[in-house]
Chains A and B, each alone.
Chain A
């Protein structure tokens, strides 16, 4: 369970206040793979980062008893001057992975990087980057994985592997996902939260959520 307790999020840029959420209280239910749907600028990514603890609400707090991953996007935490292996070790250390060697092996197997693993990430293609980022997150035991558009860049076989891995873990773990590709969302998620004008609505059936989102 993730509980948003009266959160307010305000951005100030060029002296204009932009209120994304105002005193919002909401419970994100447990045991669902959830897609975040909403127009550009509705606050999908912000909510994502708030849940992950990457940033903090202006007021209010977010309460959870779950192990939540960092928001896995294309570039988070990956430095292009370091090799895939060094990046993996860095992420592992920060998250407190017990056995870094085993973790490295899992990541390289899952991302199928082979020899490229010891090449600086700057030389990777965007598909390889996303595979690395995704593998780093999926190889750690989280309760909830936050995934931001990463799967879109991987090739078909990688998508399949990712889906399988998430399916295998779906009993203990869930995903929350942002993507602009509806097809993608349907592959991974079963329910949806629509974000509109600072309000959240939960739909148990993802198709219902998509219908509502497209009607916006």
Chain B
């Protein structure tokens, strides 16, 4: 008989998230491309899109190479969109696994979101390699800040994922609303443009969106000459912290009933 370890709560958490992560990597990509597709697909997507835009516009956007300008936008928005949708669907997807009382919804959400960020780290490395071979200068004035913004976007996406995942558990139709509201985000978050392209009197239409702030700020951190007009780091922090707080509070209240339906 296999004896069981006495584990602390944290160890159980760690074990469960690890087991779920291994499972995700194993079954997420069951064809010949395997897991490499999860990395190749966005790398190719970003390369092609950035390259086309770079060609059209002659090389520089607000003092930074257009390729780099696009790459920051696309990476950030993809991290947001994919982490968000992975987080929001994790509860539904792992429903059968909650039969094991050790597996709690938050572990499933965390595992799904860890998986997304892991893939994105490889995507970023892949892009850097591609840029090296394309002869585009790799320049980051403040790499720590760039990582911080990526982290904030990830946490923001995860918190929204928790909130939507919970709502979907109670009212499945929310899934449709989630798809509806995420679609325009790709176009209004400053992926293809900068806030500076717009007259200041229209900024309020766009600058409620924390993803826009994160994207503009990460461009600014790479090339300080790009500037950071219209965006603010503290706004980003406040939005992310508030969302995380609300998400965790709702989770604490609702998780038991969410899986007991």
A residues with a Cβ closer than 8 A to B are 11-12, 49, 52-58, 67, 70-71, 73, 75-77, 79, 81-82, 86, 90-99, 102-103, 106, 139-141, 169
Contact = CB atoms under 8 A, between A and B. Distances in A.
B24 to A, nearest CB: 11
B4 interface: yes
Contact of A140 (B2, B22, B23, B97): B2
A98 B260 contact: no
Nearest to A79: B27
B99 A70 contact: yes
6 contacts: A12-B261, A53-B101, A95-B100, A96-B15, A98-B3, A139-B1
Interface string B14-58: 011011001100110010000000000000000000000000000
B4 A96 contact: yes
B256 A141 contact: no
Given A90-B22, A95-B102, A77 B3 contact: no
Nearest to A67: B4
A76 B96 contact: yes
Contacts of A77: 96-97, 99-100
A71 B16 CA distance: 18
Closest 10 CB pairs of A and B: A53-B101, A55-B260, A93-B19, A56-B256, A103-B2, A54-B99, A76-B99, A96-B5, A81-B27, A97-B2
B130 to A, nearest CB: 32
Contacts of A103: 2
Interface string B57-99: 0000000000000000000000000000000000000001111
Contact of A54 (B7, B11, B12, B101): B101
A70 B101 contact: yes
Nearest to B28: A81
Interface size class of B (residues with CB under 8 A): 20 to 34
A167 B232 CA distance: 68
Contacts of B4: 67, 95-98, 140-141
A94 B98 contact: no
A54 B101 CA distance: 5
B103 interface: yes
Given A76-B99, A79-B23, A92-B2, 15 more contacts: A49-B99, A54-B98, A54-B100, A55-B98, A55-B256, A77-B99, A77-B100, A79-B27, A93-B16, A93-B19, A93-B22, A94-B15, A96-B12, A97-B3, A97-B5
**A12, A54, A86, A106, most chain B CB atoms within 10 A:** A54
B201 interface: no
Contacts of B97: 77
Contact of A139 (B2, B23, B98): B2
A94 B27 contact: no
**A53, A92, A93, A103, most chain B CB atoms within 10 A:** A93
Contacts of A93: 15-16, 18-19, 22
Contacts of A11: 261
A141 B261 contact: no
Nearest to B4: A96
Contacts of B12: 96
Contacts of B98: 54-55
B99 A52 contact: yes
B257 A56 contact: yes
Nearest to A75: B96
B239 interface: no
